[in-house]
Amino acid sequence: MKTTSKPTALVTGGSRGIGAATSRELAARGYRVAVNYFSNREAADQVVKQIEADGGEAFAVQADVHDPRQAAELLERSTVDGRLDVLVCNAGARFTPTPLPRLSWEDFHAKVTNELASVYTLTQQALAVMGAQGGGRIVYVSSAVADGPPTAGMAAHGTAKAALNTFARFVAHEAGSLGINVNVVAPGFVRTEASAGQPQEFQQRLAEHTPLGRVAEPEDVARAIAMLAGEDAGFVTGAVVTVDGGHGVGRR
């Protein structure tokens, strides 16, 4: 890996959806981006090619962030000249919406545990690297569902993301003295490959009940993440920034 004066960012789950948009956004803002992927090397390579075509720098890094050994190796392989300036924890735990009466304890436990596993080792390793270099930024991607149930079947997902939000606040409290800012971005519904199966009627109803008049695109979330990673948010830490166009205002 060549020496570079650019700041370095690692985006987990960086090959698709919000992660891909974030990788591109950070690269456009001058970061050299480590694009993490789990199994889809082709998608990660495509993101890297797009970034390079636009004059940026990026490289793909495979790892399962839920595995402590792989997560530690991912952090090490993503640093450049021993530095990591931004960690974006976007890769979470997949789930199938299931009403509580039919949700097994095993599935509930797996969702909550895997959500935290996807960030825990990476956070520990990042604190060590960023603390040694005198500062950095950590941004977790959560969900507006952590604030309350939008519909039945979201208990595991909402509980897992609420736990992530709480974890982030504790990390922010301990990381401040190291010069590390820690924040959360909590999107509402986002139009991605993962949500492509949602009926257009459902998306239209969401847009009609959203003050800004539409549902979110991945780039909307990516820009919020990049804002928290940048100098303009230098005195912001421990915050949960909701990115839903105001959809949740009416139910708070």
The tens digit of pLDDT for each residue in 176-211 reads 999 999 999 999 888 777 665 666 777 788 787 888
Transcribe 38-99 into DSSP letters.
SS-HHHHHHHHHHHHHTT-EEEEEE--TTSHHHHHHHHHHH-BTTB--EEEE----------
pLDDT band at 44 (very low <50, low <70, confident <90, very high): very high
User: Is pLDDT larger for residue 11 or for residue 94?
Assistant: 11
Please give the CATH number for the structural domain made up of 8-251: 3.40.50.720
What average pLDDT does the segment 121-126 reach?
98
Q: Where are the domains of the chain?
A: 8-251
Residue 162 Cα distances to 35, 111, 133, 142, 209, angstroms: 26, 12, 30, 8, 24
Please tell me whether the overall predicted TM-score, pTM, comes out greater than 0.85 for this model: yes
